[in-house]
Structure 1
Amino acid sequence: MAESKALEKAGDKSAEGEKKSQELTRFSRTERAAILLLSMGEEAAAQVLKHMGPKEVQRLGLAMASVKNVERNDVDGVVGSFLGEVERQTGIGIGTEDYIRKTLRSALGTDKADALCDRILAGASTKGLDTLKWMDSRAVADLIRFEHPQIQTIVLAYLDPDQSAEILKMFPEKVRLDLSMRIASLESVQPAALQELNFIMERQLSGQTSSKSASLGGTKRTADIMNYLDGSVQSALMEQMKDVDEELAQRIQDLMFVFDNLMDVDDRGIQSLLREVSTDVLLLALKGADENLREKIFKNMSKRAAELMREDLESMGPVKLSDVENAQKEVLTVARRMADAGEIVLGGSGEAMI
């Protein structure tokens, strides 16, 4: 009798845990992180955010501002899930630099993790070149507009690809071509040159950063930046690059990841991606998608959701091409972020991506 009650109680507890886990799936990973930060209080949340990069802070800030109707059970579930994850991955006394670095490298990739570790473990501040990542793209463009092209090249290769793409769009067509070719040909920057560039930024921004050498530029970096350019700008720039160096332009194109390349993402990756993309954005993005890609997306949705999406697409009137392109870019931005975090694997027409 006692054993029966114990088993029944354990079963109830297991069912309750499973129910809570299912309820949390209505929140994206970013929203769960936002809920966790909101539950920590202002001071503790600020301590966490100050160790993140500008893109992470922007994304979490938007999520924190947008999450609504969060019940106490949801908060408890998010916090409980986080604590459970911590217990599984670490233990008392295991908080060493090596452990933190390895964990972050696994989650973010070597380059991003090492940069984050430098700030967390060494207490490095965000100054010099890093300061540019927090600035408006227009302000950065104005700041480097009259600098030597080599300095402009290093800055664009150093910044995140989406920000570099925004800055590149603000330059004349001829300058865009020159800088893109320079970025593709750049492989690394010597410590002295990087230190000198930091000094130049310090004079204008009153800061300084680490002077260690860095691998910047190359065809992969150029492809990443090209991915974020508007369709018309991207096509025109690619044609111009082919006129200058067809072989180099082809290597860049082979490394680019476009919306149609989602066909190469496995089903599990598509399902993970769909959980992070809003229905409205997906609907607009699929408006201009190939039929085979549409079917791949539908296949990885519930039957009811796929039927509703098909009906909405059929009833949708004409939309601007720019709106479709922007929606597809938004989906790709989420896909690249998830790939950087190791949550999905992207594959372009050439080498493995990200």
Structure 2
Amino acid sequence: MAVTERQRTDTATRAKKRRPLKGPEKAAILFLVLGEQKGGEMMQKLTDAEIQTITRAMSGLGVIDNERVEEVLTDFTEGMANGNGVVGSFAVAEDMLRSFLPEDQVNGILKDIRGPLKERDLWARFSGLSETVIANYLKNEHDQTIAAILSNVKTDVCAKVLPLLGQEKMQNVVERMIRMEAVPHHMMKQIEETLQSDIINAPAQPTSGELQQRMADLFNKLDSNAFQDLSEVLEARMPETFGQIKGKMFIFDDLVHLDAMDLARVMRGAPGNALPMALRGAKKEVRDVFLNALPGRSRDMLEEEMNTMGPVRGRDVRDAQSGLVDYAKELADEEVIRLPLGGDDEDEFI
């Protein structure tokens, strides 16, 4: 059937709207059309660098319609006329490589092809760091390097980091970011490798909040007399920081601020004689709150068990109380109960 002038014009117009295919992409389409067996035979004649280039192109092709295939592979126009085009994907490329290359060689090629995904993950993880950590890391870098790095992080993170660099450095970096053109691939790869080793793969440094929580957990388990002695010193030397740590603490006596049902839930889950042991060494007002949260029969049984225990060691009492606090925190983490942290009674510590 004769092709009309309008059809030729429409075809040309559609072709102009589409991005021209690069050489490696055209080669990749050829291998896809040939199929795994014939394509594999052809690839065996290529160098590793050529295989890597074509594999990278094949991985990003996506769906290639018939018209595009015909444009690239005129020799296959007749054979592809009634087909459904071809699909280029990472899985297709991997299958083709494995049909004729050793396992280790395929893994080496695909490792580099997977790079862009890993790079996106690297920048997402880097952007997730504290702005203080990022700023401290960048302060000793060249302004151009800082500009290249901040151009790849999330804008809200960049906005927090820039002021931390100091006024002069911030101005220089922003000016370079505005004027920046595409960073050469080898330079960007070097920056990413450095970030990966210096920041992402480095042992995580705890934040100030995490350090305070660790100290709060330590103080929770510290002997009450020792904690009292420390409190007097720390309140004098670092009142603000110590106050923040105390705000994160949760000790046995704080359990009385739980809802009655939540407190009963904690008591029911106490192992062995942990509950009577913990209450034997508790203040009377604390012990009364625990007992009043129980039904009459359960309360009587608990009081009887406490009375028949005899003398108990302070260390055993502290261990039992600490165990109940830990169990309460577990229930809170599972959202079974709610701890009264940061409430009106948060300053009541022994």
Give your verdict on TM over 0.5: no
- The one of the two structures with greater contact order (alpha-carbon pairs below 8 A, sep at least 6) is 1
TM-score, with length taken from structure 1: 0.38
TM-score, with length taken from structure 2: 0.38
Q: Answer with 1 or 2: which has the greater Rg.
A: 2
